[in-house]
Chains A and B, each alone.
Chain A
Amino acid sequence: MSEQTLITVKDLSVSFDGTPAVKNISFTVQAGKVLALVGESGSGKSVTARSLLGLSGGTVTASTLDICGHDARSLSDRAWQKIRGNTLSLILQDALMALDPLRPVGREINDGLKEHTALKSAERKQRVLEVLKSVRMPEPDVRAKQRSTELSGGMRQRALIAQALVGNPQVVIADEATTALDSQLTALVLSQLRALKQQGRGILMISHDLAQVAHLADDIAVMRHGEIVESGPTQQILEHPQHDYTRKLLRAVPSSVPRFTALSDLGAEETTSPARKIQDSEQHSPALSVKDLSKSFGKHLAVSSVSFELPRGKTLGIVGESGSGKTTTARMVLGLEKPDSGTVELLGERFSPSTASQRQNLREQMGAIYQNPLGSFDPRYTVGQLLTDALSRGKSKRASEYRKPITQLLEQVELSADLLARNPRELSGGQRQRLAIARALAPKPSVLVLDEPVSALDVSIQATVLDLLDRIQLETGTSYLFISHDLSVIEHMSDTVAVMHQGKLIEHGDTASIFGSPQREYTQKLLSAMPRLR
């Protein structure tokens, strides 16, 4: 098969006000092939994608920038507009944000045709429906008239792909198109992209997660600090990575990595778990015991008769898609939502249903970590004040009185003491999550409830946070209720796993058996959609 090169980039550099964001990178995109650009946020991969569309907003230089026969270094605004959407198009990360919430999706798709064809209105409508059918949108004529906010997650993704395809482009750029989607939606997008590849289009895929691209990409280019540090055929990159950074990214992927095996350099020391503090569970009541928990909101049954036990010093992973009831379960366990029926016992004592004063002395035994830690911090507090507040039980804000325990906490979560005077807003995502962990650890809880604690983080940062959580569990014997939509994270972190679907706990068992031989059809479907490296 003769390979047709669609995009040739040589020595591409992009800078903003003199600050370089992309430095001398070169790659090609070929018809019927997928090239993946992989790197952390800030590595310049999105800027690269936008500069191929002439939308980077920075100063672009290159020795060659050929897009399907157009020299993109010297295109007028009008010429760019002819290429965009027609020769190459863009699929952005979040379908909710990438489609105008005030316009029906059919019109968004129609706009692409208006720009690039001379079709009449009726013909365009026909074509919009065809495109929607081609991405398997259910009831395309109804959906075309709805706005993105009225569609389900899956339909929204289909509409987003349809608006990129309507101009029949030769090249499609997918910028983090699968990031933050649950596994079913990820599988949907990946299968759509695969279909595009089979139609002979060239695809440039951008992601921070090697596992997401491993099965689709023909070639991978790894980017860091604006440079391509390594590139080559997918198999070669995955099996014989040359560059340290590539190895780091590969190692950070948690799927099929056994518990307590470090994903990053930070948690590298321990391989086995000799020091794991687990009290004999025969003698003690479980850390957390949930019986028949149910909750409905109006007519909607959010959680239905969920029961599980969390043994001391272990991790129970709860996995499910968005809307499966896992967050409501977590909120009931934390005593933030009153259950309609059922009980929660913490260390053998009744925790919920109960009154605030009754559970007051049990409160400190349970901590919580959220997906977005910033929202859980008082915006007026500095890092030091947040920790002092936690240590002093809200009675003091003067960090000087608690210097020693604060230093200990910071060491425990591997944060520098220089950050004490900063506001959490100035910290990076990973640092914020560490701070949240430090604060939750301050009262020395027996149980931590972690609701999607790493979902907003890049894979490489996620690896360091997961390693940290592992180490804390080894050192302190804290039990984790770990909630995530991400199967690979759950697989790596959990001793036992519970699968939730439509408010019910449908399967429950130790991690190896759930991931090795799932019994329920739904679990099997989830697992087959899971992106894996190995």
Chain B
Amino acid sequence: MSRTAKICCLLVIGLWLLMALAPSVLAPGDPLAINPTQAFAKPGLAHFFGTDESGRDIYTRVIHGAGDSLAIGLAATALGMGLAIVLGTIAALSPRWLDEIILRILEALYAIPSLLMALLIIAFTGPGVGPAIVAVGLSTAPGYARLVRSQIRSLKNSEMLEAATVLGRGTWRKSRNHLIPNALKPLLALVTLGIGQAVIWAAALSFLGLGTPPPAPEWGAMLSAGRTYLHLAWWMSLFPGLAIVAVAVSATLIGRALGGKVKSL
């Protein structure tokens, strides 16, 4: 990765972290403060992104929403990826018959579209933030697991490991020195790409009324509220959506800079 690319990536990550951890630095107001006299104010100097039906400042809400959205995205990715690493590694390292069984199960899970799987899980658990994290994590796990498996498989059969065998390295040294670090590197890119996707899925659930409940400043929930006033107050829908797109695009760009391929999602 070039120096400029590195600096850009770090800057972007820093900005998101700032928004997530210390939103008041960028937006000192209260995201929940209502002001009915100021309802449906157009974007302007007083309210950069306008206000919603209760007069809440959308700019403040978008900035404060970053924390929840990113946290949900991170937690879901961690869950999905953790599960995927366990399943994928077991499948890749186990004998053929067990590999075949795990592969079939993954294929079965993969056959249900992600959002449908998430909805299926919520149908059992009921709506909420926790279920949304579990739903998004579980529904992305099968795709990741298949990638982890094929990644480790191809490394396991690589000339690099054969050369290490010939040099007399035992299983432990081979795994520690070559297999694990080389398998982890592309996973890092994958995780980055995955966080972007998870933020979108989690927002989608909130949008459908199954994730974070209003009036919390969550982007998906804000879009859901904005939908009612689409013809009246376009800014209510535009800005929270732009924030989601910005997260997803920066995740894609950083993931690519880390060597991730679009094919992998």
Contacts and interface: CB of A to CB of B under 8 A. Distances in A.
Does A touch B (CB under 8 Å) in the complex? Answer: yes
Given A334-B166, A363-B167, A375 B160 contact: yes
Contact of A394 (B162, B166, B173, B185): B173
A317 interface: no
Given A379-B182, A380-B181, A360 B163 contact: no
B257 interface: no
A390 B164 CA distance: 9
Contacts of B156: none
A229 B181 CA distance: 49
Given A380-B181, A389-B177, A367 B160 contact: no
A375 B159 contact: yes
A388 to B, nearest CB: 11
B166 A366 contact: yes
Contacts of A360: 168, 170
Q: Is the interface of B mostly helix, strand, loop or mixed?
A: helix
Given A370-B159, A389-B177, A394-B177, A378 B166 contact: no
A475 B3 CA distance: 46
Given A356-B170, A380-B182, A394-B173, A368 B164 contact: no
A419 B82 CA distance: 39
B165 interface: yes
B157 to A, nearest CB: 11
Interface residues of A, number: 26
Contacts of A443: 167-168
Interface string A370-394: 1010011111100000000110011
A364 interface: yes
Interface string B10-54: 000000000000000000000000000000000000000000000
Nearest to B177: A394
Contacts, number: 58
Nearest to B176: A394
Interface in B65-100: none
B169 A394 contact: yes
A376 B163 contact: yes
A434 to B, nearest CB: 15
Contacts of A102: none
Nearest to B165: A336
Given A378-B177, A389-B177, A394-B177, A363 B168 contact: yes
B178 interface: yes
B255 to A, nearest CB: 19
A51 to B, nearest CB: 34
Contacts of A363: 166-168
B181 A393 contact: no
Nearest to A361: B168
A390 B185 CA distance: 23
A380 B167 CA distance: 18
Contacts of A366: 166
A256 B182 CA distance: 45
Contacts of B177: 378, 389, 394
Interface string B167-192: 11111010001100110010000000
B105 to A, nearest CB: 27
Interface string A353-369: 00010001001101110
Contact of A367 (B166, B173, B182): B166
A519 B182 CA distance: 50
A378 B167 contact: no
Contacts of B164: 394
Nearest to A375: B159
B158 interface: yes
Given A376-B160, A393-B168, A443-B167, 5 more contacts: A356-B171, A360-B170, A378-B160, A379-B160, A393-B167
19 contacts: A335-B166, A360-B168, A364-B167, A367-B166, A367-B167, A368-B163, A368-B166, A376-B160, A376-B162, A378-B182, A379-B160, A379-B182, A380-B181, A393-B167, A393-B168, A394-B169, A395-B173, A439-B167, A442-B167
What 6 pairs between A and B have smallest CB-CB spacing? Answer: A363-B168, A376-B163, A375-B159, A394-B173, A376-B159, A368-B166
